[in-house]
Amino acid sequence: MSRADKLFIDMCTDIIENGYSTEGEKVRPKWEDGTLAYTIKKFGVVNRYDLAEEFPAITLRKTYIKSAIDEILWIWQKKSNNIHDLNSEIWNEWADPDGSIGKAYGYQLGIKHQYKEGMFDQVDRVIYDLKNNPYSRRIMTNMYVHQDLHEMNLYPCAYSMTFNVTGDRLNAVLNQRSQDVLAANNWNVVQYSALLMMIAQVTGFKPGELVHVIADAHIYDRHIPIVKELIKRETYPAPKVTLNPDIKDFYEFTVKDFTIEDYVTGPQVKDIPIAV
């Protein structure tokens, strides 16, 4: 069993057994047939993943690690808000006819701001600070920009990263306002772990802990039977995920620079209904 499996199983069990049901309340999401999509939720879930211990991919089912990395590169490296720059269809339902998702995600990271040292966007500022002032407690990004929310086709879910150096290790806190646990939990963990690995490598640190803070961790009503079956499955050791050590520039990374070995999983969960 990977540690990520244990954290996922414990979190899902706690939500199902001790969570709060929103059934009967005024909720926004609906299923494709128009039925209101209720959830069982827990407030303030915090999970810690030590990348020195393992790469935190669950083995209960397969997480498409390279697709998750492609999305994080789309947001953080390409700083794009257009699905034509993404090698998957996961954002299609939120895109306009031109492929734009509005002033969301990568758009916000690419906006340059004035600092004493010059003009930087949020990603370049993180890299600059980690190279020049690594023990600062002010190294963070934020995509939840209130003045632009009305022009975002989807409000950011995972919206903020705070970086913190301890010795020779780079740690990070990922803040997420809301998460569909079945559809997105390990996907987000995997992609932000990969991001932490990349940022650590180009700034001269070893990857440390990823602390994932979820304000509203929920399981949708139609997902509960799927989750109950999933967390009873056999588990396997975590995969080995390594990064091409020759890359020293964050903007040179590609999905091909990640090597995934010994990733054994249970069968994929297919046709998960998605509430929108």
Selecting among 104, 140, 157, 199, the annotated active-site residue is 157
Q: Does 178 count as an annotated binding residue?
A: yes
- Judged against a pLDDT cut of 90, whether residue 271 lies above it is answered with no
Q: Does 177 count as an annotated binding residue?
A: yes
- What's the confidence (pLDDT) of residue 161? 98
Helix, coil or strand: residue 168: coil
Angle between helices 65-76 and 181-203 (to 10 degrees): 60
- What's the confidence (pLDDT) of residue 160? 98
For the stretch 225-246, pLDDT in tens is 999 999 999 999 999 999 999 9
Q: Does 179 count as an annotated binding residue?
A: yes
- What's the confidence (pLDDT) of residue 100? 96
Q: Does 219 count as an annotated binding residue?
A: yes
Q: What is the mean pLDDT of residues 135-142?
A: 97
Residue 219 makes CB contacts below 8 A (sequence gap 6+) with 12, 15, 16, 19, 39, 40, 41, 180, 181, 182, 227
For the stretch 64-97, pLDDT in tens is 999 999 999 999 999 999 999 999 888 998 999 9
Q: Does 113 count as an annotated binding residue?
A: no
Domain ranges of the chain: 3-261
- What's the confidence (pLDDT) of residue 89? 86
Residue 43 makes CB contacts below 8 A (sequence gap 6+) with 20, 215, 216, 217
- What's the confidence (pLDDT) of residue 274? 86
- What's the confidence (pLDDT) of residue 90? 85
Q: Name 213's bridge partners.
A: 46, 175
- What's the confidence (pLDDT) of residue 270? 85
Right CATH for 3-261 from 3.40.50.2300, 3.40.190.10, 3.30.572.10, 3.90.550.10: 3.30.572.10
Q: Does 138 count as an annotated binding residue?
A: yes
pLDDT, the chain, mean: 97
Q: Is residue 12 among the annotated active site residues?
A: no
- What's the confidence (pLDDT) of residue 276? 84
